[in-house]
Amino acid sequence: MLKKNDDIVLEITGLTSMGSGVGHFEKMAVFVEGAVIGDKLSVHIIKVKSSYAVGIINKIIKPSKHRIPSDCVVSEKCGGCSYRHISYSHELEIKKQGVQDALQRIGGLDVEVEEILSIEKINNYRNKGQYPVGMNSLGQTLIGFYAKRSHRIVDCRNCALAPAEFEAILKTVERWSAIAGVSIYSDENKKGILRHIYLRKAFATKETMVCLVINSETVAKKELLTKMLLEADETIVSVILNINKKDTNVILGEECETVFGKDYIEDILCGLKFRISPLSFYQVNPAGTQLLYSRAKQYAEIDKTKTVLDLYCGAGTIGLSMADSAKEIIGVEIIPQAVENAKENARLNNIENARFFCDDASGAAKRFACEGLKPDVIILDPPRKGCSGDVIDAVVEMNPERVVYVSCDSATLARDCKIFASKGYKTVNATAVDMFPRTTHCETVVLLSQRRPDAHIDIKLDLSEVDVTAAETKATYQEIKDYVLEKHGLKVSTLYISQVKAKCGIIERECYNKGEGKSRVPQCPKEKEEAIMDALRHFRMV
């Protein structure tokens, strides 16, 4: 039996979705952070539960062929790059397999995930950084990232995933806060002012936004802040204060004060201009986003006759990127600033066939369904928790041909696809898009298509080409009588056969013994009619 503090030799055979390696020791799963599939390790056991154990690496006895040296000094402490010690080609395999496994195991879906899409740029790809600010016990300012599963700040101002220019901005804010006497927020006693430094850079236009999240209404020496920032980085076009006085894990408050320049930045994505406010969601990897959106557009198969409903539309980016190929785009988003951006973005790009609504996706979808809106395609791009049952029900009620579901969490995606499957929507295609290299995160886009209850092929039939009389020659009356007697044990007359044939429209002449002066013509009983029908089907006459 495995015990705490045991030292064991472990071969790593799998990875969890959180990036920990897994091996088996005496049939018990042992999880080891920082392990790679194929590693042979000496592991120190730190926790034993009834069905699993947790260990830490003592020593790498034989490294996996996928293991590479990490090029970041904080990658083992910070919660960001869980895959920095794994070759990128292996990371892509792991991510594709992770999506495949989720769809199969959680969703019970029979779909093969397509080749993973990646821009192959694994550093400096993020256009956004959200850096918590705090103090250590020596009174030094910490600016960086939270450690894994913790609120302890790991100091890191030059994160490899972010633009290199962000480092100078972070240092400038730190200097300014010291000069201006703006205190640093403490997570423990909830006192202090500066909580987060939130930076965004539009890669295409080079515009940079600096947003300080503060635990007060405003701050001192705002002009000095702007002056120092512009000296440090001349691409800064917007300096904003975001007020967040709540004791929560949510980084941004609802209120903003623009200290300098514009209250948004503009970027170019998919050939369109997008205006983005600090509170609006904007994908963090724009080059990866273009791969994602073009696959979503491919799955949507839209044309100028199609109406597209874009639920969870953010600043309207997905829908607007499809607007030139669609009849109409209708977007729904819950954050008012993002909806304002979406409307402005349509105007900026002279797009006239797009409408946006500020609403909860579920409420809006129910309302649209009640109003009888029948979009041809519905795009879903919810937050990690996925769609609520209400949203799925309302989507199904609108009866779209296709649903294109974009997700940053393949587990909730798989769960929702399973629900869609029970309502007649089959997951037909799936693609993983690596928007977040070196981290465990991965985006997925799937196509759900309506499954008809009886699969059939529609064939256009020109009746003039069909030789109806030829059907009559297929079997003689005697052959039909013999078949019915043998198969159904029933004797049928020529009269009955001709009556059934007449009903099916495969003889033009009237029943021969029906006429003036004749007694009442007997009608073929139901049971015999069914037996004759069976014979006609058997001889392919109907």
Tell me which of 312, 405, 425, 436 binds ligand SAH, using CB under 6 A: 312
Phi, psi at residue 187, to the nearest 5°?
Answer: -65, -30
Tell me which of 177, 244, 283, 307 binds ligand SAH, using CB under 6 A: 283
237/338 with CB nearer ligand SAH: 338
Work out whether 357 is an interface residue with ligand SAH (CB under 6 A).
Answer: no
53/269 with CB nearer ligand SAH: 269
Work out whether 52 is an interface residue with ligand SAH (CB under 6 A).
Answer: no
User: Of 211, 387, 408, 524, which residue is the catalytic one?
Assistant: 408
DSSP-H helix ranges across 372-493: 389-398, 410-422, 468-472, 477-488
Secondary structure class of 23 (helix, strand, coil): strand
Q: Can you say whether the dihedral through the CA atoms of 417, 149, 439, 272 is positive or negative?
A: positive
Cα 356 to Cα 162, 335, 522: the distances in Å are 31, 12, 68
Quote the crossing angle between the two packed helices 410-422 and 389-398, to the nearest 10°: 50
- CB-based contacts of 15: which residues, under 8 Å, 6+ apart? 21, 22, 36, 37, 94
Work out whether 318 is an interface residue with ligand SAH (CB under 6 A).
Answer: yes
- CA-derived radius of gyration, the chain: 33
Tell me which of 143, 338, 448, 484 binds ligand SAH, using CB under 6 A: 338
- CB-based contacts of 82: which residues, under 8 Å, 6+ apart? 18, 19, 438, 439, 440
Distance, in Å, from the CA atom of 309 to the CA atom of 316, rounded to the nearest integer, reads 11
Residue 106 is given by DSSP the state: I
Tell me which of 314, 375, 386, 437 binds ligand SAH, using CB under 6 A: 314
Distance, in Å, from the CA atom of 21 to the CA atom of 247, rounded to the nearest integer, reads 35
383/525 with CB nearer ligand SAH: 383
Work out whether 360 is an interface residue with ligand SAH (CB under 6 A).
Answer: yes
Which span sits near ligand SAH by CB under 6 A: 327-335, 369-377, 444-452, 490-498? 327-335
381/416 with CB nearer ligand SAH: 381
Which residue in the shown chain puts its C-beta closest to ligand SAH? 314
Work out whether 381 is an interface residue with ligand SAH (CB under 6 A).
Answer: yes
Subset of 132-191 contacting ligand SAH (CB under 6 A): none
192/278 with CB nearer ligand SAH: 278
Tell me which of 61, 335, 419, 490 binds ligand SAH, using CB under 6 A: 335
185/299 with CB nearer ligand SAH: 299
Work out whether 313 is an interface residue with ligand SAH (CB under 6 A).
Answer: yes
Residue 323 is given by DSSP the state: G
Work out whether 317 is an interface residue with ligand SAH (CB under 6 A).
Answer: yes
55/314 with CB nearer ligand SAH: 314
Smallest CA-to-CA distance from 200 within 233, 175, 247 is with 233
74/313 with CB nearer ligand SAH: 313
Tell me which of 170, 272, 334, 430 binds ligand SAH, using CB under 6 A: 334
Considering the complex, what minimum distance in angstroms separates the CB of residue 307 from ligand SAH?
17
Distance, in Å, from the CA atom of 125 to the CA atom of 148, rounded to the nearest integer, reads 21
Considering the complex, what minimum distance in angstroms separates the CB of residue 317 from ligand SAH?
5
- CB-based contacts of 293: which residues, under 8 Å, 6+ apart? 269, 270, 317, 318, 321, 322
Which span sits near ligand SAH by CB under 6 A: 8-16, 128-136, 332-340, 411-419? 332-340
Which span sits near ligand SAH by CB under 6 A: 172-180, 259-267, 276-284, 340-348? 276-284
| Strand ranges inside 224-375, DSSP E | 236-243, 255-261, 265-269, 272-276, 307-311, 328-333, 354-358
Work out whether 281 is an interface residue with ligand SAH (CB under 6 A).
Answer: yes
Which span sits near ligand SAH by CB under 6 A: 45-53, 308-316, 343-351, 442-450? 308-316
Subset of 382-401 contacting ligand SAH (CB under 6 A): 382-383
Phi, psi at residue 408, to the nearest 5°?
Answer: -100, 10
- CB-based contacts of 107: which residues, under 8 Å, 6+ apart? 413, 414, 415, 417, 418, 421, 427
First to last CA, the chain: 72
Residues in the chain: 542
30/315 with CB nearer ligand SAH: 315
Smallest CA-to-CA distance from 299 within 455, 425, 452, 435 is with 425
Work out whether 500 is an interface residue with ligand SAH (CB under 6 A).
Answer: no
Work out whether 333 is an interface residue with ligand SAH (CB under 6 A).
Answer: yes
Q: Verify whether residue 78 is a known catalytic residue.
A: no
Residues near ligand SAH (CB under 6 A) are 281-283, 312-314, 317-318, 332-335, 338, 360-361, 381-383
Catalytically active residues, by annotation: 408
